[in-house]
Amino acid sequence: MKKKLISYAVNLLLTAGIYTVFALLIQGGVINRYYEGLLINIGINIILAVSLNLVTGFLGQLVLGHAGFMSVGAYAAALVTLNSGLPEAAAFPLALLAGMLAAAIVGFLIGIPALRMKGDYLAIITLGFGEIIRVIVLALDFTGGARGLRGIPSLADFTWVYVLMAVTVYVIFTLIRSRQGRAIISIREDEIAAEAAGIHTTYYKMLAFVLAAALAGLAGGLYAHHIGILTPAKFDFNYSVEILIMVVLGGMGSITGSVVAAIILTILPEALRSFADYRMVLYSVVLIIMMLFKPSGLLGEFEFSLASIGRKLRARFFGGAVSRKED
């Protein structure tokens, strides 16, 4: 128990340390607005990738409509900020909450029929729902239709995104290590065996699905208040695929992998900007080669943990066998 507390404290310090470094760099003007925007995009993509990993990597259900949930959250949050009449500082947390809630409700409603499906059929059905959400947003009046929703105040600064990103990663990580998480993983390993062992599969599937949808909604809310303009075209099938690529490339079932892949895949298109027209061709070639030579993703199911690094260092310098009992 004590070890666990120490490890939590170390991780918290590390998270705060990274934040402080970036915050100081931004304050000092070393990181300009362009790079700050990039950091915010990375944070949003990490939330999306990690939450999709919960469903696709740990629950083992292929979902192709994550951008749909994100758009529900984005529009709900933006509409709250624009119409609530509250001061911006008070409206923003409320808006994010509304975005999460709206996405969770939509996720629940879609989950009822969709989670009866398996494998590729679940993928197709979520794809279908994702497209339906997009078309409905396009057709509605109060969402601004194809012109989009404009003039959303940009309230999502680096601090907001970083804190919420850290909380998301923490929540998913602890969930996976908990009793509920083991139930979710058991469904991935063998659904029939899990059910036979007394696990309420429908409940846990729905739990993971709704939580992932809510977090996608959160990412959507942050996105809306970062970019300032929402158009339905942004949240199409291709964006869902982009998030899925992050999950698979990082390694399904590795939260560290999702984080790393989200960072790489957000930076890669920007870094390739100097290649101009060749950018997306290179991106796709890199993707194909990665998948060909490392089909399980960059990190497989590996998780970064300070405890295991400490263990290895101790074993190297003080000798003795590497004990795995400590965690």
Partner 1 sequence: MSFLLQVINGLQVGSIYALVALGYNMVYGIVQLINFAHGDIIMVGAYGAYVVLVLCGLPVWVAVLASIALCVIAGVGIEKVAYSRLRNHNAPRISLLITAIGVSIFLQNLFQLIFGSAGIPFPSMFQVAPINLGGLNISFVTILTIVVTVLLMIALQLLVGKTKIGKAMRAVSEDADAAKLMGINTNSTVAFTFGLGSGLAAVGSVLYSNAYPMITPFMGSMLGLKAFVAAVLGGIGSIPGAMLGGFIMGIVESLTKGYISTQLADAVVFGILIVVLLVKPSGLLGRNATEKV
d(CA 152, CA 154): 6
For partner 1, the closer of residues 116 and 150 by Cβ is 116
Given the rule CB under 8 A, which residues bind partner 1? 56, 62, 113, 116-117, 120-121, 123-125, 127-129, 131-132, 135-136, 138-139, 192, 237-238, 241, 244-245, 248-249, 252, 277-278, 280-281, 283-285, 287-288, 291-292, 295-297
For partner 1, the closer of residues 138 and 167 by Cβ is 138
For partner 1, the closer of residues 160 and 235 by Cβ is 235
Find the shortest distance in angstroms from Cβ 50 to partner 1.
Answer: 17
Q: What is the CA radius of gyration of the chain?
A: 20
Find the shortest distance in angstroms from Cβ 321 to partner 1.
Answer: 33
Find the shortest distance in angstroms from Cβ 277 to partner 1.
Answer: 5
Q: At what angle do helices 66-83 and 237-250 cross, to 10 degrees?
A: 120
For partner 1, the closer of residues 301 and 303 by Cβ is 301
52 φ/ψ angles, rounded to the nearest 5 degrees: -70, -30
For partner 1, the closer of residues 185 and 291 by Cβ is 291
What count of other Cβ atoms lies within 10 Å of the Cβ of residue 309? 10
Closest CA to 122 of 208, 217, 199, 50: 208
Q: Beta partners for 225?
A: none
d(CA 69, CA 60): 19
Find the shortest distance in angstroms from Cβ 261 to partner 1.
Answer: 11
Find the shortest distance in angstroms from Cβ 105 to partner 1.
Answer: 18
Do 237 and 64 form a contact (C-beta atoms < 8 A)? Answer: yes
